[in-house]
Every structure is written in structure tokens, then in C-alpha cells.
Structure 1
């Protein structure tokens, strides 16, 4: 990886963001501002799903390796799309429900002739690069002991496969594990939050660091795991042999229940530096002490050497959920600067540079009274990859402003319920519905999304491209000054990265969320992207039809065409009359928030499928879908064993109520 730009490697895409620094910047220049208008589709593969597809492909020696849903890996001739082999790890369909946000994963890794898959069910699997046969498989967690899953892309750093996991929303104790790339044997493991102190040290690389972190926790925090799960972000500095990990939110979300409303709760929502050889702690910087808002700091971390105040600094940069852009010295974790990149921040007014701590806005912490937070769990910037162009000195990423309603449960009304797929947020989703409607209206009115170019030296916005809605995806820059992004407008767009001028755009009937890549084979440069919208809730989007997810590959002079998207009837079906009691609707609101909102949107707005306006057939078959698994083939797994028949009836009643509340306004658009 040190020879990334050597002639033999410069046209390849060898890791998730091309290099270990995660800059997602390519030195290729064949496609440029002068000829980008000649760009066309070279080839595509229909992935046969309407699910979100989040992976960045790899390209090595003329072969493109791609991962679709349920971790299925396919090798293609990178010039024409001919399939060479496919590997299916046979992940059980139940993981469409057990994993937080569906069966998608963000990519694979490569090292010395092998590819590495981080499967949803916790296996890390090495397969042969030439023919896809399995070389080894290692389980990183026991499904029966805690509700973990893997959705992030593994990384291989100097012979070690590094991976984290998700599950903090359900109640788990996050960790990072490193495996020997040749054998799959554990090299080290680092727990991200302390465990039950009565059980003593874990006997892992994290023991010494967690002994120091323990005083920042209170109460019986270990009962619900504590969280901290590193479900996505990693970067690596080979000069210092340091892995930098972005850690996640608390479990449960509510600080009041997790830690009695006391302490910073290390190492939640932090940049955490570990030694690649031993896993030992080096330094940390906590971006969200007292984490109370489902703020993850698992968004991309990008390494660069940049001039600041006349001196070149080795930095790590991150734009996490909370709306602040951080520049940190990657040699010691010292905060260099932090500024908010969103126009509304009801969490913190600024970061105190003397202490490195956020200065919270009055009323930011959650009480039993609903209030509006922006940024929210929907994120000012989420996992979508960002890019850095050394020539402009700018960082590029998709940003959004989406408020959300927060309230903790009243004392005595929250109880940790262990089990896969069972959300344990500690939130209250149903109290004071009139106030909630008022707050939701404010959230809807202020929702926005945009592509942002940010100057990390001056901590100022350089330019932005506004979109009608949030939801646009990851970005790529090239040495020819191009910036590539899939958009919520169902296009692939290319901008000039110095000022945001749009240079080219193509309708693709999909809103890609994955990060694009570029590569070169036989002197021809290509741009590739997985186009499959993930359905993150968008309040004002309304009905949103897309084509099936596809791997799309472009080149200059490409002449391939996409099939027309099948037309669907756009009239919204009228909801049936509401016949349930208010108590049943209130119960359904709570159950929906805990079990359904991650995929179908807060208050049943937006998401993969807007459930306010179901067809008569869907209403009739609601229990068969939710409990019987009738739609499991397309990703809606059964909740049998998690929800009772009466609970499903309550959820259905809530959705009918929501449909009746919003139908008139929705059909008037």
C-alpha cells in the first residue's frame, strides 16, 4: 500500500477509499473537464434488489470485485462486465432484520491474493482472489451472547484484518478485533467501553485503557452493553503503525439510563488510536462526552498532511453526526480546531479550545419532555465516504440538516430487554402527541441536503451545491479536478472541485449512497458506482420510486444504455378508517419507534417504504408480512418471536392513524 501510486498500481483501487489514509482521491486524469461531456455508460450489472447497496468495489489487475447485499461477492472483467466468479457466504435472511439498517455492507478488503469479507453474521471470511473459493472463516462474535452485526468494510493493514461491529442500538458492548490475514487467528481485541467491573479485566489489549475509562461511567452501565460499537470508520498511518478508530453511540442511547446521567462515558463517540501490532491504546479525543443523542463518530476519518499557521501538521479529520468538523493531530490526539458545518446546531454552540469539550446549548440533554434536536440521529453527515484533494486543500462530503424529536422515557418505564433486533434506546416515542406534531412540522420545514466543500485549515465553507432533499451519497475526487457524486435526484453528477460548477450529469433512475471509485485498465479510465438507494428517512421526499440496484461503470465514449424503469401507479391509496382505541395507537407508536423507525422513518415518514399509505392488500396481509415473513425474499424479514400478534395489531393501528393524519396533505401535492 506504500507503493499505491507506483506504475503497476496507480490504475487500481486497492482498498475501501483507495489508500489507508481514506482520502478517496485518484491521480488519474484521462477523464477531465475538457472531455467529461463524452462520458457514457460502458457496462452495468443488475444486482436484482431494491435494497440499499453501499459497497465500494475494488479493482486489481483488471478485475473488479464487488459486494452486494448479504455479502455476495462477484468478480468481473473490469473492461466489459463479464462475470468471472461469485462467492455467496450464505448469510441467513433473518439478518435483514437483525442488522440495524438492513442486509447491505460497505465493501471488502484485499491483501496478497486474498479478499476479505466482513459478513453480517459476524464471520470474517478470506476468499481466493482468483476463483473465489473460501480459504478461512473466523467468527468474531457469538450471536447468542449479544446482538452484534458487521456492516462496515474490513481493512487490512500490514497483514492484519481489522473490523468492528454494530449493535449499540440493541444493547451490546462494542469492540475492534484484528485477525492475522493469512490464518484468520486473533491478533488482538480492544473493547471500546468497560465491562462489569466485578468480573475483573477481560484479558485483552484494552484492559489498561479501560481501567482508566471506568471512572467516567456510573451505575450498572454494563447491563445493556454500554455501546461504542465501531461499525464503520478506520484509518491507518503506516509510519507510526497507528490505527485510528471512530467509535459509536451509547447503549442505551439515553445517558440518564445508561450511566445515571453522570460521566463522560469513555470511549463513546471518539477518535481512538491503537497500535496495529498489539492493539494497545495510544491516544483518544472524545468528540461527544455525555453522549445522549445517538451521535456516532463512526463517520469517515481522513488522514492528510496540511499546512496550518505556517507549519505542516499530520492530521486526522472527521465530520461526524454532531455537525462539527474536527481537525486533530494524529500523532497525539491534540485538538487543532473544530467548527460547526451546519446552520442549525441545537446540541452545542461551539467547542472550547482550552478544554476540547463541546459547550452544550441549554436544554440539549434529554428529559421526559419532547424536544427537537438538530443535528439528530439522522446525522449532519453520515457514513457516506468523503474525499480530500491535496491540490485544492478542500474536503468534500454530503451534508444534511434533519431535526428529530427526542425524549427519554419516564423513570420506571424503561427496562433493558435483551435479544437480537430489539431496540433498547431508552427513548419515549409516544408522549405528548400534539407537541410532537408541532415539533415535527418545524423539522420538516428546516430539512435540507447539500454537497459541501470544506476548508479544514480555515474551518470555513468553500462552496456548496444544494439539493432538494437530503440523501445524496459518497464522493470521489481526481487529479484532473473532478468531483463525482450520486445524487438524491437519481443521477450521477460530476462537478469541478475548485468551485462546484456542474460539468456532467446522467439520469440513472437510482439515488446512489455508496462512494464512487475510478480505475484504469489497458490505458482506459473508468468510473464505477453501486447505485442502490438505502432509504434513509427523508421527511419531505414523498413517494420515491427507483429502479433495481445496479453496478454502473462509465468511460469516455461509452454507449451502453439502461433499461427503462417500470412505471408504477403514483396515486396514493387512501388509508382505511381508524377503528382502534387511542391507547392501542399509543402502544403502536412506541413499538413502531423501537422496532420499525430505523428502516421506515421516524413517525412513519420516509424510509425504505412509506407505511402511511399501504395498499388494501398490504393492510390485509400486514400480520403475514410482519410475523409470517411473506416479503422476506425482498428483505422484510419476519419479526416472529420478537413481536406478538397484539403488538403487531397495535403497530398497524398506529400506521392507519398516521395515514389518516397525513393523507389529505400528501394527495394535495
Structure 2
């Protein structure tokens, strides 16, 4: 089973739905409406006793002024209470706490209201999403959080509907459909934001299908749900009218390669921010789709893909933009969460916006004008040797061109930093970044000689992590010749090719102050970060541990083993005189493509998705139930030829491995362990959607009956191999 297991370990689900590694040019910043600095401010509470906004405050700092838990006593932190969310699909939201109630979201956009002191469920809201929508989410049906204002909770469900929910009763006040075309693979997984009078949300889907959707954000009246405005991130097909003036400028940047058959992505799947001081929304856009598009051999900028954009919150018109990655071909989104701050740059006080971008560069821009102030690598980067501050453009290297032969490009498509929130402490002046220090072997599948030329989630490209399981020989038939691991290691001797690192970054001095390696060898899918006035930094890891560090030095203070994989960022609040720290736990998201890391302490446990809450003097965390893998059952008879089985492997890798892992624990079912009744209904499940209510959508528009028969033959063969190995192991043990 080695070949398949290696194949499905490929990063097939574009991290957090897209990437971004090239940078744009500060000189190409464009101005439309000027920011309305005189606008009335929306409520902007500071994260203290309550945690009223997704990032704690309107600046998105993931910082709390609470200090009851501090560097002198944090070693006594322990378990207070937990809530089982009843799923194993993955948790990426940070809860809110307002008025003694905790509000948060889970998969599909389910919303929960809990007593923040005890964890007692007050109500749960089900958005009733059709399971068919699950196929539209590149990185599973996760949700990154709710918003709260004046007794109403807001969430975007996975199918792109906005829900305004009464915070006391859990009943819907209004629902608005934000999707412009339900025939296209749109999905919404990001947290909504609130301006003074609107709810704003983007969407995902640029990696799905053949690049047949356009990104946009839309604003809806906060009281009624009535539509207000929409800002598209890429121009319409040639010859079609521009919905707003900025698109006419963007269209000039596309060149002759844009033929209208694809709509070219640029989705806004996360990272929306609102600054009440300027009354503007700042957001990043996703990768282009497909990646390799140029028909004339020239890389065009392709605005506004992989860009940072600021729009006036009232009109939806653009104030400024900055493109981080012109001509994106690396899956380098610019949707990572933003932090607003007041810094002294070159002796001048500045109101800035900061981002640790997926492309590996830390950007600091003037919040009012979009002027690029600095751009520095916060992790290892080889696709560009720097950014020209005069033009704002990246200085691209030969490593970036994988069109003719595979290249090990740093950062990987997963990014130097992805959706997991970073934190900024005004106390220390440091930004704490959950960095991914990993490259990936990028290849053009149409040119590399393998049996695959298309991969769902990557189009005709692919990015393979050279991790501890990397085996070029096992992957050669499907992907063509790949570089040997020893050759890749020569670029960075002694440094693991795949690892994750928590880095404390000084945005003024533009350097790393301290760092701690959090996983090595395979991606741990480690979590986001919280910092506090107690001189503490909190981060969860993929192995199930919650780490507490000294914020100034990075010295570890406490490690709490929870037994549950932690991807989301923690938060903290105070109620009844007690300060609590809370985090949602559960493996999933882009990790749906991968087995739970075997090095993880969470590997042995059921992937219980829980809200975990801690306090000083608390107890040990109750562990989830032990994982019980179903045994391999005797497979059905199989008379398929080796050629049909090989074709089935190709079709499985192309269409199914984005969600399903074989032979080892994962988030979705292991299709090499199917019971007889599923084998009997296999065609109906895949082609007719027999299990659509459970999230397994129909795929008759993607695969033929002959394709399904080949996939089924391949899975039966995998089950045969697994069953034989299982029986041999039993005999050997006796």
C-alpha cells in the first residue's frame, strides 16, 4: 500500500484555500475614494474581561490586557471545563465571550452559545446546509468564527448564507444568500466582520474545478440583511461590462492569456478586517486559478489576485491596493489575518497594517495610504531574494520557475504562514507568528511525464512536501521523476525540510527575537497564537499539547497535554473573578488530506472536537476516548487487470485524495476499509449522492461510470493488501 499512501500524503488541499508568495509593487498602489476619517466609530472594546471580537479587538491583535494568569503562576494552569462539539471534522474558530456567554462556530457554520463559567449549553443553531456543498470546500467544512453586536450573533454558513441569530434565543432574525452563482463551487469558511452598519463576508473556491469562479466580498445591512454593495477582486471575462471602475484598471494587467474560459479566482476566504478609525475594510485576496495560465510566455500581474486591498466601508469603492504576488503561480494567497498598530517607523509615528504573508514576507504598510514601509522574510524564502521597496515588487529567482522541471520552492503552497492567527503584544512590541518553515517540490504535471495531468485543488500543478514520508520512487509513475531527498537537503544542511516554528518578530527592528521549533519531519498543523499582559504567549500544537511561553524570552513555562489536536488560536476572558483561557480543538481543515501525524499524542485518541477551558489551579485534562480503527474486512472478489487498478489509482489521486486518506487515521472515512454494504452501493454513492446528507456529495459531473469502476477496483486492491498484511501480522503474533 506504500504507493497510494505516499500519493495521498501530497499536499492536495491548498492550505486554507489558496496561497501567495510573490509580492507586488508599492508604486502600483492605486487610489480611488479617500478614507472617511470622520466616520462614526463602531464599538471598539478592548479585550479584557470579555473577548467581544474574533481577534479580541478591532485591531485583530489576539492580545488580552488580562494578567491574573501571568509568568509567575501560569505553571499552575489546569483544566476547568470542556464541551464536546459532537463532530470530528476540525475546529478553526476562536470563541467570543460577551455578557457571561461564550459564542462560537463549528463545522458547516453551526453556532453554539455556552455559559462561559460552566460550559453548559444554552442553545445551538444549525444552519441546515445541504451536504452536497461539502465538495466545494477545498479544506473541509470548517468555520473560523462568529461576530456579535447588540444582542445578535452573525455567522456565514458553508453554503455562503449569512445568518443573524438572536443571542438569547438562538433563533434566526434574518438570513441572506451571498452567493452570486450556485452552479459554481463557492463556499464560505471565514469569519464575518462588522462595520458600523454592515456585515461583510467573502468566500472560497478558487482551487476547485477549473478556475471557474471570481472572488468578491459583499456587504449586507446589519439590521435587515439587505444587500448593500459587492467588490469583485478580478475583472469579468473579456467583453463583459465592469461592475465597478477598479476592474477596468485590473483588466489591463492580465495580458493575452485571459481567454474568458476561466474566471481566475482571487477569492477572499479569510482575513477580513475593519478599522473604525478610517472606516475602511482591509482584506487579502487568494491565489489565481488556474496557476499556470500564460499563453505568451510572460508572467502578467493579474490584478487583484494575491493582493491586499482597502475599500471604503460605506461605498465599497477601493481606497488603495498592494499586490503581494504579481502573476501568482505558487498558490500564494494574501488572505492571512491583518493586525493594525501604531508604530514608530524611521522616526515617524505611523498607523500601520501588518501581515505575515503566505509568501514568506512580513509586510508593514501605512494603513491610510497603502504605502509599503517594509517587506522582510520571516521564514526561509528562495522563490524571491527580496522585495524592491521602491517598486514594491519581489525579486524573483530561478527557483520560482517550475514550468519545465520540478523545483523545491520555499515557502510551500501551505505558506510561510497561513490562516492560523498571529498575535501582536503592545506590551512587548513583538508579533508572534506560527510559521511554516517548509518547501514543496512544485511541478507542472503536464510537462513532467507522470500519468496525472490534473489534480483537484492544484489544477495541472502540484506541490509535494519532502517530509519524512517523501519517496520519489513511489510517486514516479503518477507524478513523473522527482528530485531525491538528499539533493533537496543540500540547500539547507542540518535543517529538517519540513518543520513548524513559533517566531517572535520585531516589526520595527524587522528581525526575529526568539523562536521555538514546534514540529519537525511532518507538518503538525500547529495552532494560532494568543498573547497577554501577563507576559505570556499561548499556542496549541498538533500533538495535542498547549504550550505557554514567556512573551519576552520564549522560555517555556508550562505544557498541558489535552489529547486533542489544536489548530485554532486560544483566547482569554474573566468571569466571576476568575480568568480563563479557552481554545477549540480538533484536527481537520487542510489537514483533511493527511493522516493525523503519527508522532502526535493525539494520534491514539478519537479526534474529538472540543472547546477546552483552563484556569489557575485546574486539574488534568480528561483525554478523549482511545481511537479504535476498524479492522480490514475480507475484500470483495476482484478480477480487474493491473492496468485498470493503475487507472483507478490515478483517478483516485486526481479526484478523491483531496479528502480521503487510505490505511491510516484521518478525518474522513478510510476507503480501504469499506464494509460489504458500501461496496455494494459504491456507484450510487459516488454518482448519485446516496450519502449526500452525510457530506459525501455526488460526483457524476466529474467522473464517469468507467472512472468509478476503476476507482473501486483500486480501493478493493488496497483493501486486499491491507487485509493480507493484517492477517499475516496476526499469524506472526501467534
So what's the TM-score if we normalise by structure 1? 0.87
Counterpart in the other structure of 1:268: 305
Could you tell me how far apart the structure 1 residues matched to 2:638 and 2:442 are? 27
Cα distance in 1 for residues equivalent to 2:567 and 2:653:
24
Deviation track 1:139-179 (CA, whole Å, cap 9, x = no partner) reads 11145342111000000011211110001112310001011
Residue 56 of structure 1 contacts residue 530 of structure 1 at CA under 8 Å; is this kept in 2? yes
Q: Could you say if the C-alpha distance between residues 604 and 152 of structure 1 is closer, same or farther in structure 2, counting changes exceeding 3 Å?
A: farther
SS at match of 2:245: helix
Backbone CA RMSD of aligned residues:
3.6
Q: Does 1:644 align with 2:704?
A: yes
Structure 1 position 425 matched with structure 2 position 459? yes
Query: In structure 1, what is the equivalent of residue 280 of structure 2?
Result: 242
The DSSP-based 3-state class of the residue aligned with 1:272 is strand
- Select the residue among 382, 385, 391 that pairs with 1:355: 391
TM-fit CA distance, 1:653: 6.3
Instruction: Go from structure 1 to structure 2 and tell me whether the alpha carbon gap of 1:362 and 1:16 turns closer, same or farther (over 3 Å shift).
Output: same
For residues 284-433 of structure 1, the aligned pairs below 5 Å read: 284-343=321-380, 345-410=381-446, 423=457, 425-427=459-461
CA distance in 1 between counterparts of 2:595 and 2:91 reads 21
Please name the residue that 1:200 is paired with: 241
Assess if the C-alpha contact under 8 Å between 2:55 and 2:61 holds in 1: yes
Counterpart contact for 1:166–1:174, Cα < 8 Å: yes
CA distance in 2 between counterparts of 1:656 and 1:614 reads 7
Which of these residues, 484, 488, 499, is aligned with residue 448 of structure 1?
499
1:555 maps onto 2:615 in alignment: yes
Tell me what 1:507 maps to: 561
SS in 2 for 1:117: strand
Q: 1:155 matched to which residue of 2?
A: 193
Shift of 1:199: 2.0
Q: Answer whether contact 1:490 1:507 (CA < 8 A) is retained.
A: yes
* Counterpart for residue 98 of structure 1: 136
Q: Tell me, yes or no, if the aligned pair for 2:564 and 2:624 is still in contact at 8 Å.
A: no
Gap change, CA 1:348 and 1:528, over 3 Å in 2: same
Provide the secondary structure at the position in 1 that maps to 2:185: coil
The 3-state SS of whatever aligns with 1:395 is strand
Change (3 A) 1:655 1:510: same
Once the two structures are superposed, what CA deviation does each residue of 1:117-147 show, in whole Å capped at 9, x if it has no partner? 1111111111111111111111111453421
How many residue pairs match? The answer is: 648
The yes-or-no answer on 1:123 pairing with 2:161 is yes
SS at match of 2:231: strand
Structure 2 segments unaligned to the other structure (5+ residues): 1-40, 464-474, 490-495, 730-734
Partner of 2:224: 183
C-alpha displacement of 1:316 = 1.1
Per the alignment, residue 658 of structure 2 pairs with 598
Report the CA distance between 1:652 and its aligned residue: 5.5
- Tell me how far 1:592 sits from its aligned partner: 4.0
Displacement of 1:638: 4.7
Indicate if the aligned counterparts of 1:51 and 1:635 stay in contact, CA closer than 8 A.
no
Which residue in the other structure is 1:16 paired with? 54
Q: 1:583 to 1:260 in 2, by over 3 A?
A: farther
Q: 1:572-598: CA deviations, max 9, x gaps? A: 999999986676566445544543343
Q: Secondary structure at the match of 1:37?
A: helix
What residue number does 1:541 align with?
597
Contact 2:365-2:373 at 8 Å conserved across structures: yes
Cα separation, 2, equivalents of 1:4 and 1:126: 20
Question: Map of 1:248-259 to 2, 5 A cutoff?
Answer: 248-256=286-294
Report what 2:518 is aligned to: 467
Alignment CA distance shift 1:431-1:225 (3 Å): farther
Deviation at residue 569 of structure 1 after TM alignment:
5.8
Q: What is the CA-CA distance between 1:651 and the residue it aligns to?
A: 4.2
User: Aligned in 2, Cα 1:541/1:88: closer, same or farther, shift over 3 Å?
Assistant: closer
Shift of 1:209: 1.0
- Given the superposition, is the C-alpha separation of residues 366 and 74 from structure 1 closer, same or farther in structure 2, using an over 3 Å criterion? same
Deviation, structure 1 residue 337: 1.3
8 Å Cα contact 1:96-1:103 kept in structure 2 = yes
| Deviations 1:214-268 (CA, angstroms, capped at 9, x unpaired) | 11113335422111001001222211111111110011122336x9744100111
Alignment match, 1:46: 84
The CA deviation at 1:364 is 1.4
Contact 1:12–1:519 (8 Å) recurs in 2: yes
